[in-house]
Amino acid sequence: MPIKTGDTVKFHFTAKLENGKIVESTRRKKPVKTKIGSQDLLPGLEKGIIGLEKGDKKKVKVPPNKGFGKKDKKLIQKVDKEIFKKASKKLRKNATVEIQFEDGNKRRALVQDVKKDYIVVDLNHPLAGHTITFDIEIVDVKRARVAKV
């Protein structure tokens, strides 16, 4: 029976950028387990899984608007270097830093440039703006229970 919303699915995947670079894979790990419709997966990936069955393999191409989103220029910001005085590693271009905001939330950012008094950071998800191709294999499907009335 085809996978539908509410089913619990186990699947393996290999995620690749358009240039073929692998960004993540579960092939040597445990498969991902998720409930379809729980919003745990990228919308484009979940849509590609619906309708498949146990044992099926498929390539699912997920564009930015159905995946990690488009790059948002507003998320590229200047940050006062002063907040990094206690940093254990030297600030340099392409380094990843963690920034804590006034509300207590923390977020990873990519350093784009280092100036005398500030650094330029990119707060976008590292895969924002990229089309990702997922090679998926459905390992198991547990049907959603339907309550009897």
Domain count, the chain: 2
Q: Which domain holds residue 12?
A: 8-68+129-142
> What CATH number is attached to the domain comprising 98?
2.40.10.330
Half-sphere exposure of 149 (CA within 13 A, CB side): 0
Q: What are phi and psi of 65, to 5 degrees?
A: -70, -10
- Residue 88, pLDDT > 60, answer no
- Do residues 37 and 86 share a domain? no
Give the pLDDT of residue 149: 64
> What CATH number is attached to the domain comprising 60?
3.10.50.40
pLDDT digits (tens, 9 = 90+) for 39-71: 999 999 999 999 999 999 999 999 999 999 999
The Cα–Cα gap between 38 and 60 comes to 19
End-to-end CA distance of the chain: 23
pLDDT band at 87 (very low <50, low <70, confident <90, very high): low
Across 107-131, average pLDDT:
91
Give the pLDDT of residue 1: 87
